[in-house]
Structure 1
Amino acid sequence: MTEVRDPDWIEARLLAVREQVDAVEEALLAAAASVVTVTGVDDEPNFQPGRVWGQNLVSGLFAADAVPGDLEERLAAALSTRLPLEWVPVEGLDWAHAWKAHFHAFPAGQRLWVRPSWVEATKPEGRVELVLDPGMAFGTGQHGTTRLCLEWLDACIDPAQAPEVLDYGCGSGILAIAAAKLGASRVLAVDNEAQALEATRANAAANGVEDNIEVAFVPGGLAGRGPFPRVVANILSQTLIELADDINAQLAPGGELALSGILKGHADRVREAFPAIHWTGQVDDGEWVRLDGTREGG
């Protein structure tokens, strides 16, 4: 690792071919990277969902005091091969703000329009706008798994029914805010990271839905709150498997569930971890999938 005086951030960089990008991205997120970006080797931003190039520069940003010492081993295990990994010290806030150039406003589903707070873009007529600033929490909506969850919320929340919604692993709060803006009567957003809860509260206030969203640490924040008729969890596959009993317990009989953050090759393992769920569909975005189901007993 290159030595500099007291860097604030460390960026892990490696070159990956198209077929390796999803596994590298998942490994970086699992290692608690604050931000992961994918660009072409000519440094062209990757704006289009599911789009990657033949050769890609994948970067993960880590706080300097939280760099995982086993990252090279994690990546090698995920790829079944070892790729050269470059560590780049980053001073001050330059990198932490420069990554924002990779994000843009976009539509999701039939009703939503998601706009990062630093982007100037006119909302299309008839759409509901969400304005997001993730801070150091994961979730601007650009990633395919988040888009899949936004589309699910758009399709399954009817304002006339005003269902209650649980966002399990809220990150920046984008899914909780989308649920509230689409017509949910009450939303509980839970996470185990303080930065995620802080970002969710700030984004909820910026979108004028702070009174509709309760933000709490998990698991304590779930006590006495459920069950919910709608539950969405956009978390990595292994974490979904580990939390399966907790998530299932929060879904009301007959309630609808969406799970994402899942690579295609892991989908069957995730399904098997939820035996009480009747699976109704799978929606793909590149190598990532969303699993849709309902809880038996409704």
Structure 2
Amino acid sequence: MTLHLNTPLLESRPLSLAAGRSVWLKMDALQPPGSFKIRGIGAACEHHASSGKRRFISSSGGNAGIAVAYAGRRLSIPVSVFVPETTTDRAKALIRQEGAEVIVHGASWQEANERALSALDAETAFIHPFDDPLLWAGHATMIDEVVASGLSFDAVALSVGGGGLMAGVAQGLARNDLAHVPIIAVETDGAASLAAAMTAGWRVQLPAITSIATSLGARVVSERAFELAQSRAVESVIVQDRAAVEACLRFVDDHRVLVEPACGATLALAYTHPASLARFERVLMVVCGGATATLAQLQSWQAA
């Protein structure tokens, strides 16, 4: 049993017209927990369940925690998610809605993560939100699905936080003989740890996350994501929070789907940064989703 869905692949006429080239959308916002995270997290949870683990522990401020909670409910395995104090009430409610325990600890994800690791025992599996080969293999299935559809594309655009999605997409491209296809790695200003690492040549730790796209809020990008940026074609693009929010709102009108600013960052390439796509004829965009932003919240950010 797999816990994720084979999601729709759509040609977006509105985004194609805005970008001046063909834009195709892998609609992982339609996964049951609301984001692509269930692909890798579901695979990891199934692996650990088959190995005899009796409990899952994770650390997350949002979508990864929701995905672990969903997987645990589907597999009838109890889940505890450690979240930082900055986690929204909505995110905590969505985790609890899946039947998981929520434990608030620390001012940042790093502190919540340390507390989660200290709670492990022999019967418990730790489900990392982004830095685990099991997750990357699960995320890679989205590329398998696109290739199986027969679609050809010459770039993949996606949002980068810790880098788990990028690692999975790179793995999917490689195993489908598409390692030459560039990845356009999009971050918001104030959460651009990959861009900082690519500029510096080493994994820079941001002093703080100042972007509203908190789902992209890894102060240090994963080692695997940094390695990929050094070893394959990765193009870094940074967008402003306002562009990401406005892209979310335009996307609601264009495709009737609500996503977080972390996902809107990628959509903003078509809406407001078409020059970043100018070299490509057909772009695959990963609509990674996100369940913790509401329409009212997006509208309040736009008005600010």
Asked if Structure 1 and Structure 2 have the same fold, meaning a TM-score greater than 0.5 normalized by the shorter chain, the answer is no
Bigger radius of gyration among the two: 1
TM-score w.r.t. the length of structure 1 is 0.38
- The structure with the greater share of residues assigned to strand is 1
TM-score w.r.t. the length of structure 2 is 0.38
- The structure with the greater share of residues assigned to helix is 2
Q: Return the structure number with greater relative CO, CA threshold 8 A, min gap 6.
A: 2
